[in-house]
Amino acid sequence: MGAFDATPKPLPPAELKETVDALREAVAAATATVSTSDGAVEVTAGPGNAIVGLGFGRAAYRYTPERLGALVVETARHASAEATGTMTETIRTSRRSRAELPDPLGRGGLPGSERSKLDHVPSNGAVDSDGRRTDEVLRRVGEESPRQPQGYAQLRAELTGLTATARSDDGGVAAQVRAGGELMSVHIGTDQYQHDPATLAGIVHTTVMTATARAAMLMAERVQQLTGQRPGTRSRTVRHQDRPAEPDDQHPS
Domain residue spans of the chain:
9-104, 116-253
State pLDDT tens for residues 192-218: 999 999 999 999 999 999 999 999 999
Average pLDDT value for residue range 121-138: 55
Domain 116-253 in CATH 3.30.1310.10? The answer is yes
User: Taking the complete model, does pTM exceed 0.95, yes or no?
Assistant: no
Q: How far apart are CA 42 and CA 234, in angstroms?
A: 50
Instruction: Tell me, yes or no, if the two domains 9-104 and 116-253 fold the same way.
Output: yes
> Across the beta sheet with 183-188, what order do the strands follow?
163-167, 173-178, 183-188
Q: Which residues pair with 223 in a beta bridge?
A: none
Most confident of 96-110, 137-151, 157-171, 207-221: 207-221
Average pLDDT value for residue range 24-44: 88
Q: How far is CA 78 from the centre of its chain?
A: 19
Supply the CATH classification number for the domain 9-104.
3.30.1310.10
Query: 155 or 120: whose pLDDT is higher?
Result: 155
Q: How far apart are CA 115 and CA 128, in angstroms?
A: 24
Q: How far apart are CA 16 and CA 14, in angstroms?
A: 5
Q: Under DSSP, is residue 54 helix (H, G, I), strand (E, B) or coil?
A: strand
Most confident of 92-106, 132-146, 218-232: 218-232
What contacts 78, CB < 8 A, 6 or more positions away?
34, 43
